[in-house]
Chains A and B, each alone.
Chain A
Amino acid sequence: MLLSSFLIVLIVLFGHSEDFLGTTLLSRPLVLGPLVGLALNDFSQGIVIGATLELIFMGNIKVGAAIPPDVITGGVLGTAFAILSGKGPAIALALAIPISILAEMVISGLFVFRPVFNKKFNEYAEEGNYKKLQRLHILSGLLKPVLMGLITFLALQLGATAMKSFLDRIPSWVNTGLQVAGNMLPALGFALLLNLMYNRKMAPYFFLGFILAAWLKLPVLAIGGLGLIIALILTDRTVSNPTGPGDEPDSTGYEPDNTETGASGPGGEKTPALSGNTIRHLFFRSLALEANFNFETWQNTGFAFAIIPALKKLYPTKEGMSRALKRHLQFFNTSPYGSTFILGITAAMEEQNSRDKDFDEDSINSVKLGLMGPLAGVFDSLFWGTLKVIAAGVGTSLALKGNVLGPVLFLLLFNIPHLALRYKLTFTGYHAGTRFLQKLAQTNAMDKLTSGAAIIGLMVVGAMPATLMSVKTSLTIGASPQGIPVQGILDQIVPSVIPLALTLLVYYFIKKNIKTTYLLLGLLLAGFLGSLVHIFA
């Protein structure tokens, strides 16, 4: 028991270290569940519970500074107690939801507290002491994993025995009810996703995804693949605009007038002073962008931390370093997935500044601040709105069957494109800078990309009620043993119609501005009561 609770604390520490590891979704229940399973000698149960929790928290996204319930602490503890008590996914759910809401409050508290260090950061910047600044960024970043690890440890030490005897006392009818209720909850996750992606124009893709999954029983990966093909065909057709083809940034040899932008981005005539190695360092350091997130200056120290390798090369004097550090301690917040592009551009501008005495230093921050919002808009929707949805759809559909490929594919599908693009963008930002953006704007590439992504995402979401939710009715027509099961009739007309109807119903309520907490409780109650009176099973 001591060893396993030690391992569980380690898993929470690991999950919360994601802020140092590039927001790579390592902390999702789909990934941490199996780890908890390993720690408690029930790997396959861990995979299934992780997938179940992933479904419920699917619409739970982190965008901007909006902090969702802490699925790390809640998910890990819920999974652990469920495995220890042998009660299965329903109990994991019942525990994970309240724990994650409580844990979120602790984390919000930490984000309010962290600005206390800002004075220290500014002092170090004033001294030009980048080493101390780096160290404080890391130390403050470690507060979150350590704090949450400590809370998990206490919860396990103080609560495990009591929790186990409490869970043992739960009668089996309550457990069955919870299970049915748990099966209904994904409808909320799907509806929240729909709320982000659905509109009348895109509706056919949602239903196409549903039909492919419900009648043709296609796996989610296949539906995602079909979506990709449809998106490619459709967006290609809309490309035929007068500016001509050219998604590829380097293919057309287009050289726009650089002076026109007002923002003097990295200009043309220069040999880059920063080596490829330095730029690579910017990428690696960008992975820790969110480590010291706080509610006053957001990712500012993360940005400073990431740009330091470039500053070290460019500003040998204490004075120059100090000015640069102070510049980069200004408020900053963007999507971590596109952050490297801004880092690259900033590095190029810092380089110009270090050479040219007349360079307008303020322009560095105005470009940074100008880019951070819009790029966050682009990258958050691509990565959270599409790629994460597809990866989670594929991953959970496999993991629900206890297949370890589920979590593995989930991480690969998300992170191969993520890390490849993030790496490449560091160099694009440094070498091409704002010229790259102008080209993007000219070719309409962004529009194509986002609308293509929306098609794939919505098809996958459409497949979800059919593949990932199992709510059935146990009603029969006529007296019981001889009666005709209603579910059988439904299956012949529209398979998975109950999950679909539930999802659309919840979506309707979200549109009517009903609070998500009420919807959550409503679904739980409907499932629980429905199971008691034998409507749902």
Chain B
Amino acid sequence: MIKLTRIDDRLLHGQVAFTWTPALGADCLLIANDKASKDSFLKLTFGLAKPPGAQLQIKSLTETVAFLKDEKSAHLKILLLVTSVKDAAFLSGQVPEIKSINFGGIRGKEGSRLISKAVAITEDDVVLIKELLAGGIELEARQVPTDPKQLISTLI
């Protein structure tokens, strides 16, 4: 069961390990990222940051889809982490269980604009966001679980 799908370009860090994981009661942190899945250095560092009591899976996007569709993952309480709106949109297209996406942190880059304290999006993101909204997916921005939910539809 996916407890939360979160876009966060730092993937696993303080807010995730130390506020979201306990608040959700998650027992599986699933990092879905093509780059991280091939980078042994990143794997090493994420392994260190893993909160106690939860398992850590680092998979490519396609492996993630297979993992989520597998019966065996059904009993896990999964916190799914991706770095970009694009990856989140891809996964939500493949995995119908994703009904809601949390925008945790996307740093600013060339051509992006800040829509909430920690979330900056590009025009390409806006297109994807509109598609997701049209598909009935809830999109909300929160850095930590105790933040009030800000709906992305009101921010763009």
Contacts and interface: CB of A to CB of B under 8 A. Distances in A.
B18 A380 contact: yes
A262 interface: yes
A65 B105 contact: yes
A377 B14 contact: yes
A262 B105 contact: no
B48 A440 contact: yes
B16 A66 contact: no
Interface string A430-462: 000010011011000011001100100000000
Contact of A373 (B10, B50, B120, B144): B10
Contact of A454 (B45, B50, B52, B118): B52
Nearest to A517: B148
Interface string A364-379: 0001001111111111
Contacts of A334: 13
B84 to A, nearest CB: 15
B118 A373 contact: no
A66 B146 CA distance: 10
Contact of A65 (B16, B108, B117): B117
A112 B114 contact: yes
Interface string A345-385: 00000000000000000000001001111111111110011
Contacts, number: 139
Interface string A75-95: 000000000000000000000
Interface in A289-341: 295-298, 331, 333-335
Contacts of A370: 39, 41-42, 45
Contact of B22 (A196, A434, A451): A196
A373 B114 contact: no
B47 A441 contact: yes
Contact of B51 (A65, A371, A377, A515): A377
B117 A376 contact: no
A112 B119 CA distance: 12
Interface in B127-156: 143-148
B15 interface: yes
B67 interface: no
B93 interface: no
Nearest to B23: A195
B150 to A, nearest CB: 13
B14 A64 contact: yes
Interface stretch (A167-175, A197-205, A403-411, A488-496): A197-205
Residue with the highest number of chain A CB atoms closer than 10 Å, among B13, B14, B18, B114 = B14
A67 B143 CA distance: 10
Residue with the highest number of chain B CB atoms closer than 10 Å, among A199, A451, A515 = A199
B13 A373 contact: yes
A451 B148 CA distance: 29
Given A65-B143, A516-B146, A438 B18 contact: no
A304 B107 CA distance: 18
Interface of B: 10-19, 22-23, 25, 39-42, 44-53, 105, 107-108, 114, 117-118, 120, 143-148
Given A201-B53, A374-B13, 15 more contacts: A65-B118, A192-B146, A196-B22, A196-B23, A198-B22, A334-B13, A370-B42, A371-B45, A373-B11, A375-B48, A377-B51, A384-B14, A438-B44, A447-B52, A450-B52
Closest 9 interchain pairs by CB? A380-B14, A374-B49, A373-B13, A377-B49, A377-B17, A373-B10, A263-B41, A381-B18, A374-B45
24 contacts: A66-B147, A195-B23, A199-B53, A260-B40, A295-B118, A297-B108, A331-B107, A367-B41, A370-B41, A373-B11, A373-B12, A373-B13, A374-B48, A377-B16, A377-B18, A377-B51, A378-B17, A380-B14, A437-B45, A440-B48, A441-B44, A450-B52, A454-B52, A515-B148
